[in-house]
Amino acid sequence: MSHRIHSFHGGVHPEENKQVSTQHPIAIASMPSHVIVPVRQHIGQPAKPCVNVGDRVLKGQIIAEADGYISVAAHASTSGTVTAVAPHPIPHPSGLSDICIHIAPDGQDQWIERKPIDYRNLNASALRNRLRDMGIAGLGGAVFPTFIKLNPGVPQKVQTLLLNGGECEPWITCDDMTMRERAEEILQGAAIMRFMLRAETVLVGIEDNKPQAIAAMQRAAARCDFPVEIITIPTLYPGGGAKQMIKTLTGKEVPSGGRSTDVGVATFNVGTALAIHRAVNHGEPLISRIVTVTGNVAQAQNFEVLIGTPIQELVALSGNSADPVSGYLMGGPMMGIELAQIDVPVVKATNCILVKSAKLFPPPPPAMPCIRCTRCADACPADLQPQELFWFARSKDFDRAQKYQLFDCIECGCCSYVCPSHIPLVQYYRYAKSEISAREKEQQAADHARDRHETRLARIGREKQERAEKLAQKAALKPAADSATDDDPAAAAKKAAIQAAIERAKAAKAESDTAASTE
């Protein structure tokens, strides 16, 4: 049982700080005072609200339906009354608002009727629709609607089901704790995915800094009725990134712009597998998730939290620490986002709330010039040359940035992390990417406008010509009246008439020209 491990280029070893939040088992977070469910918590089209203010909803009831191909439903995470369907700030670095469905819980936590899905006897597309209506989206961070990934298109295209138990960001331990405590359920979810994908191999990749999770998963795998390989991989950030995990376990590289299924692998986060199991075997939609609350708090811990719980209420459960709070991150320190405010809800993408203090996260020293030491390039898991991209981004040479594959940057932050000049490199790449996208949009809009303009000109031209033709026809009608049934003479006459008209026009113009020049 020694699976061959491949290595990917680059990577860094930030201080882990994971032990602080793994001292206690996962706790059930207490019922929030109110619940705020955004209609878009996944990549794709927002779901369409299907409840009204004043409606009583039950726990697990669909309150917004999937809309469009890439979309999943949203659910009430507890029973209560809809108090608003209105914009509310969502966890986003810009503090943006989005449509949210607000529910005042009634405290009864009353479920809808829950029926397991008989997945073995359901046709594939019906099964996928059920998962979409169960609101299942990837819990690893990208929040991609899961049912789409379980639709590999060509049968047998996906040979390998890869469960990603890699959790490489410092501080975050929600997947680790989930594997420790719910290994069996994760693998029950894997069984369903394996069935849907008709995958031959099931691999689970876990970093060697999670020995208890590895042991738990191995015990569960031993009891499984299908072969599951639990593979220990070296701890190296960002080894838990899907592309890096695929490279580590299979040696294959997902082609740029492609998907993992292009190399015959479907990758799911372990939490997603658990959610699939809850949905299929228990009829429970995705209304809660495990969230790590850690950092500058009295007691760091993992909680099972209802989606829609205001983050401030969740953080309060961990208690205040003595140090002043200097901010809140959603996600880890390497890729997480700074929350502008904390009255935003926990969403499906919320894996960790990291409370900052100046002591834990001192501001970096001022940026110095790049000395081209290439530590960033040595650390880049995408094999990019970050120092060149930085140069291009800073000098707004976006064409060259794109030529050097800026868009293959996964924004993992390794380059910024190692830079001795403390240059916020990733910030430059995000800026360059958004500039390029904006320009492309502008270009598209301009193209569109030009197209419209050209169409309009063409239409005007056409109308003119049609008018001219009509006129000519009228003129030609008289002499050609007797042979009107014959097409050719009519056309010839039309041509002649047009020609005559042109001739006349030319003559008139020439006349006025000579008149003008002799004056």
Partner 1 sequence: MLSSPYINEKTSVSIIMLKVMLALVPAIAAYVWYFGPAILISITIASVTALALETIAVKMRGLPAKPFLMDGSALVTAWLLALSIPSIAPWWLVVVGTFFAIVVAKHLYGGLGNNLFNPAMVGYAVLIISFPVQMTHWAAPYSLAGEHLGLMNTFQYILGGTLPDGWKLDAISTATPLDTLRTQLQLHRSVDQISQMPIFGSIGGQGGEIVALLFLVGGIYLWLTRIITWHIPVAFLGALALIAGIFHLVNPQHYATPWFHLATGGAMLGAFFIATDPVSGATTPKGKLIFGAGIGLLTYLIRALGGYPDGIAFAVLLMNITVPLIDAYTQPPVYGHKGSKP
Give contact residues for partner 1 (rule: CB under 8 A). Answer: 8-9, 12, 14-15, 93, 170, 243, 247, 253-258, 329, 331, 333-338, 356, 361, 363-366, 368-375, 377-378, 381-385, 387-388, 403-405, 408, 411, 413, 416-422, 424, 426-427, 430
Residue 324 CA, distance from chain mean position: 33
Given candidates 216, 280, 414, 476, which one binds ligand SF4 under the rule CB under 6 A?
414
Q: Which does residue 89 bind out of ligand SF4, partner 1, none, counting CB within 5 to 8 angstroms by kind?
A: none
The minimum distance between CB 402 and partner 1, in angstroms, equals 10
Question: In this complex, which beta carbon is closest to partner 1, that of residue 48 or of residue 430?
Answer: 430
Decide: is 367 part of the binding site for ligand SF4 (CB under 6 A).
Answer: no
Q: Which does residue 386 bind out of partner 1, ligand SF4, none, counting CB within 5 to 8 angstroms by kind?
A: ligand SF4
Decide: is 236 part of the binding site for ligand SF4 (CB under 6 A).
Answer: no
Question: In this complex, which beta carbon is closest to partner 1, that of residue 61 or of residue 421?
Answer: 421
126: Cβ contacts below 8 Å, ≥ 6 apart: none
Burial group, residue 253, by CB count within 10 angstroms (0-12, 13-18, 19+): middle
Span from 14-22, 300-308, 424-432, 453-461 in contact with ligand SF4 (CB under 6 A)? 424-432
Structure tokens at 340: 């502008």
Q: Which does residue 422 bind out of ligand SF4, partner 1, none, counting CB within 5 to 8 angstroms by kind?
A: partner 1
Please tell me the count of residues contacting ligand SF4 according to CB under 6 A.
30
Question: What are the angstrom distances between the C-alpha of 263 and each of 201, 205, 243, 248, 415?
Answer: 14, 17, 11, 13, 27
Give the span between the Cα atoms of 32 and 35, in whole angstroms. Answer: 7
Question: In this complex, which beta carbon is closest to partner 1, that of residue 44 or of residue 381?
Answer: 381
Write down the residue that tokens 């990733």 correspond to.
Answer: 426
Burial group, residue 215, by CB count within 10 angstroms (0-12, 13-18, 19+): middle
Given candidates 410, 480, 493, 497, which one binds ligand SF4 under the rule CB under 6 A?
410
Give the span between the Cα atoms of 401 and 407, in whole angstroms. Answer: 9
The minimum distance between CB 318 and ligand SF4, in angstroms, equals 30
Give the span between the Cα atoms of 279 and 277, in whole angstroms. Answer: 5
Give the span between the Cα atoms of 143 and 349, in whole angstroms. Answer: 6
Q: Which does residue 417 bind out of ligand SF4, partner 1, none, counting CB within 5 to 8 angstroms by kind?
A: partner 1
> Do residues 32 and 287 touch, judged by C-beta distance below 8 A?
no
Given candidates 415, 432, 472, 480, which one binds ligand SF4 under the rule CB under 6 A?
415
The minimum distance between CB 516 and partner 1, in angstroms, equals 58
The minimum distance between CB 379 and ligand SF4, in angstroms, equals 6
Decide: is 426 part of the binding site for ligand SF4 (CB under 6 A).
Answer: yes
Q: Which does residue 424 bind out of ligand SF4, partner 1, none, counting CB within 5 to 8 angstroms by kind?
A: partner 1
Main-chain dihedrals φ then ψ at residue 201, nearest 5 degrees = -115, 140
**Per-position b or e across 280-315, b if 16+ CB within 10 A of its CB:** bbebbbbbbbbbbbbbbbeebbbbbbbbbbbbebbb
**DSSP letter string, 191-229:** HHHHHHHT-SEEEEEEETT-HHHHHHHHHHHHT-SS--E
Main-chain dihedrals φ then ψ at residue 88, nearest 5 degrees = -150, 145
Given candidates 290, 315, 423, 480, which one binds ligand SF4 under the rule CB under 6 A?
423
DSSP 260: G
Give the span between the Cα atoms of 109 and 303, in whole angstroms. Answer: 18
The minimum distance between CB 410 and ligand SF4, in angstroms, equals 5
Q: Which does residue 390 bind out of ligand SF4, partner 1, none, counting CB within 5 to 8 angstroms by kind?
A: ligand SF4
Give the span between the Cα atoms of 136 and 42, in whole angstroms. Answer: 9
Residue span 429-458 as binding mask against ligand SF4, x where in contact by CB under 6 A, dash where not = x-----------------------------
Question: In this complex, which beta carbon is closest to ligand SF4, that of residue 162 or of residue 410?
Answer: 410
Structure tokens at 336: 């997480």
The minimum distance between CB 404 and partner 1, in angstroms, equals 7
The minimum distance between CB 422 and ligand SF4, in angstroms, equals 8
Q: Which does residue 333 bind out of partner 1, ligand SF4, none, counting CB within 5 to 8 angstroms by kind?
A: partner 1
In single-letter form, the type of residue at position 385 comes to Q
Q: Which of residues 369-408 bind ligand SF4 (CB under 6 A)?
A: 370-376, 379-382, 384, 386-387, 390
Show the DSSP H helices in 223-269 as ranges: 242-250
Which residues lie near ligand SF4 (CB under 6 A)? 370-376, 379-382, 384, 386-387, 390, 409-415, 418-421, 423, 425-426, 429
